[in-house]
Structure 1
Amino acid sequence: MSPTIDDGAESLTSQSVEHLTTREPFKGCNAGHTFLPVDPHALASICKVGRDEQINLMTEGARGLSRLGAIADRLMLRTGGCTGCLLSEKCSVCRPLAQRYQEAKALLRSYCRHGQKGSAA
Structure 2
Amino acid sequence: MYGATEESYDGLTRRRGAFRLFTKGLDAAHEAGLPINLSLVVTQHNEHEVDEMRALADRYGLPFNEYSNISPTIHSGAETLPSQSAKFLRERKPFTGCGAGHTHFHVDPHGMASICKVGRDPNVPLPIEGIEGLRRLGGIADSLMGRTGGCSGCTLSGSCFTCRPLAKLYQEANSPLDRYCQHGRR
Q: TM-score, normalised by structure 1?
A: 0.85
| Counterpart for residue 24 of structure 2 | none
Once the two structures are TM-superposed, the CA of residue 19 in structure 1 deviates from its matched residue by 6.3
Please point out which of 54, 60, 82 is paired with 2:129. 60
Asked which structure has the greater RCO (Cα within 8 Å, sep 6+), the reply is 1
Higher fraction of helix: 2
Q: Give the gaps of 5 or more residues in structure 1.
A: none
1:30-75 per-position Cα deviation (integer Å, ceiling 9, x unaligned): 0011111111111000000000110011111111111100100111
| Counterpart for residue 98 of structure 1 | 167
Q: Give the gaps of 5 or more residues in structure 2.
A: 1-69
User: Is 2:181 the partner of 1:112?
Assistant: yes
Cα distance, 1:39–1:30 mapped onto 2, change above 3 Å: same
Larger gyration radius, structure 1 or structure 2? 2
| Counterpart for residue 84 of structure 2 | 14
Give the secondary-structure state (helix, strand or coil) at the position aligned to 1:63.
helix
Aligned partners of 2:100 and 2:115 also within 8 Å: yes
Give the secondary-structure state (helix, strand or coil) at the position aligned to 1:12.
helix
**In structure 2, what is the Cα distance between the partners aligned to 1:15 and 1:101?**
18
Higher fraction of strand: 2
Tell me the number of residue pairs that the alignment of Structure 1 and Structure 2 aligns: 116
